[in-house]
Amino acid sequence: MSSRGRPASRWWESQTGSECGGSGQGMRRSKRESKYMGLHLREVMEQDCGTSPVADNPALYTNNPFLVYGPNEYPPEKVGWHEQLPATQAGVRRASSNREAQKLDISRLVTLPPPYPRHYPGVNNNHPDLGFYRTTVRSVTELSELRETYQNHEMKFQKLREDYQRRIKEERQDFRLRVNQAIEEGTITYAEAAEAEAGRRAKENDREKQLAQKEFDSYQEEVLRPMQSVLKDRINVVSACINELQEKLFDSAENQTPNQAQEEGDERPELLEKLTQLKWLFEAREQLYREEYDLLSKCNEKFRTVVTLPYQQSKNIEKIKETDNFFIRDAQTRQANFASETLMRFENIMTVIESNVSRGVETQLSAFWDIAPSILTVLQKIPEDLRGFTVMIPQKEYDENPSYYQNPLQYLYSLLSHAEKATYQFIESQTNLLCLLHEVQSGLTHSSCKSMEIQRINSGEPAEAVKAEMQESLSEEERVLTADLKDKVGMVEDQWREALGSQLQSVKQRVQQRLMEEGGWDEVLQMEQT
């Protein structure tokens, strides 16, 4: 803090003639300009220029006696000093002021672009506000318990089936040995032996049916019911998260104001991260739906075994065919319904993603065109010949980088690099949003083709021909979507190059060349270049 009670970080006001005092040499700050400043910088700029922190709350500054003076007041020992300056000192000060006025004000290369780098870039998906959703996705997609439960059940009954087959084999051998011995001894006739064989087969069939029924009942009790309950609970949790996130997106769209400061990536998550998280939640829920569907399908297969086993034992071909047809039709109906429901969910999420991506792209494009002309104006003031050219550099920058005394163009190059990277965030945001939309569109296309394929096969068309045709159709749709994405991304990149990118690169190259000629090019600037 200075003796005038003004934050030291407001160096641009005295140098550029912003809304709060200064010499009036430069441009006044606009609301549009404040919109794209960092949060702390913006808070300072939005303070009322006629007040000071002391006036708002003097008690906070009692430890510093110099902060109690107003904007036109000075301590007693300072009064009259500006009136008693010798003529020579006054002339030196005027000459210094004139030299300072000749330097180019490049502060807008800092104040116009959005904050860079952001604390929580959307592509990293690590904003604290969305931590709960990320944790939810990880927890609900942890299906090791379900896999282990199913595997343990299958291993148990695989062992029971192997033990059953081994005992049956041993009993058959023992029975035949005893029957043959009894026939040789004449204690039983062939008719009696055939009757005993029929009784043995009946008991064997009963035991096989009991084993099949036991496996079906055990699957229902130990696997289906508990795991289905877990899956339904997780589906409900994810659905609640999806609804909550969609409501937040809707509220953000409704409450958006033209002059709202850009805090995305710092105080608030970026739209890209919100939509990515929504996509992850949706994919997690689809995985849970698929797991539930597979559980029910396996249960139906085990029930099918219980129903068809008596007809197989009695070799009733007609009943076997009738039963198989029933279960095949039921499986087809379930598969078609599942594909249709999946497609409907994809269409719903596609509507949400598409509308928000369109809004986000428009916002980023508008923001870019809001600041690009002003940055371009600063660039156009930088001459082709940089010999003797210099820029305004805050004293704090001199203190941190003494090399600026000898090579002031280093400061210019640093700000140009910052402006390029910070402004390019608008382009990256648009590109990332368009890529996210492409991923969701691809998922919707896959779901639509799968649903159509199932419907056509169920209607009686040859399965192989239908699958080949739908695969070709899917590949063509993907090519169209990819080409559309490339066109849109290319258009965004072209706008960047034509509006600002090429000019920034041109000026940076000239500054770099001049610094190399002066011996002021160093490794730090090379790092900023990359």
Per-residue pLDDT of the chain (530 residues; tens, 9 = 90+): 333 333 333 333 334 333 433 434 444 544 444 443 444 443 444 443 333 333 344 343 334 444 444 545 545 544 444 444 454 444 444 544 545 557 899 999 998 998 888 889 989 999 999 999 999 999 999 999 899 999 999 999 999 989 988 988 888 888 888 888 888 787 888 888 888 888 888 988 899 999 999 999 999 999 999 999 999 999 999 999 999 999 989 877 766 665 555 667 788 899 999 999 999 999 999 999 999 999 999 999 999 999 999 999 988 999 999 999 999 999 999 999 999 999 999 999 999 999 999 999 999 999 999 999 999 999 999 999 988 898 999 999 999 989 999 999 999 999 999 999 999 999 999 999 999 999 999 999 999 999 999 999 999 999 999 999 999 999 999 999 999 999 999 999 999 999 999 999 999 999 999 999 988 888 767 776 66
The residues that bridge with 391 in the sheet, in sequence order, are 104
CA 509 to CA 414: how far, in whole Å? 12
Which pair of structure tokens corresponds to residue 328? 């095949």
| pLDDT at position 263 | 65
Q: Are 502 and 396 in contact (CB under 8 A)?
A: no
The answer for 5, left when phi > 0, alpha when psi is -120 to 50, beta otherwise, is: left
CA 496 to CA 4: how far, in whole Å? 42
Cβ-based neighbours of 447, under 8 Å, separated by 6 or more: 339, 342, 343, 346
CA 241 to CA 278: how far, in whole Å? 8
Q: What angle do CA 252, 255, 259 make, to 5 degrees?
A: 105
Which pair of structure tokens corresponds to residue 40? 């702390």
Secondary structure class of 347 (helix, strand, coil): helix
Residue 112, classified by CB atoms within 10 Å of its CB into exposed (0-12), middle (13-18) or buried (19+), is buried
| pLDDT at position 236 | 97
Q: Are 375 and 424 in contact (CB under 8 A)?
A: no
CA 69 to CA 6: how far, in whole Å? 11
| pLDDT at position 99 | 57
Which pair of structure tokens corresponds to residue 394? 């805050």
Find the distance separating the first CA and the last CA of the chain, reported in whole Å. Answer: 35
Q: Are 403 and 520 in contact (CB under 8 A)?
A: yes
Q: What is the DSSP letter of 230?
A: H
| pLDDT at position 229 | 95
CA 181 to CA 196: how far, in whole Å? 14
**Angle, in degrees to the nearest 10, between helices 317-380 and 225-255:** 30
Q: Are 11 and 394 in contact (CB under 8 A)?
A: yes
Secondary structure class of 391 (helix, strand, coil): strand
CA 363 to CA 435: how far, in whole Å? 17
Q: What is the DSSP letter of 114?
A: P
Place of tokens 């000071």: 52
Please give the biggest Cα pair distance in the chain. Answer: 148
Give the dihedral of Cα atoms 473, 478, 479, 484; nearest 10 deg.
130
| pLDDT at position 458 | 92
Q: Are 432 and 272 in contact (CB under 8 A)?
A: yes
Which pair of structure tokens corresponds to residue 159? 């062992």
For 10, phi then psi, to 5°, come to -90, 45
| pLDDT at position 49 | 38
Q: Which amino acid is at 399?
A: D
Residue of 264, 246, 266, 265 whose CA lies nearest to 254:
246
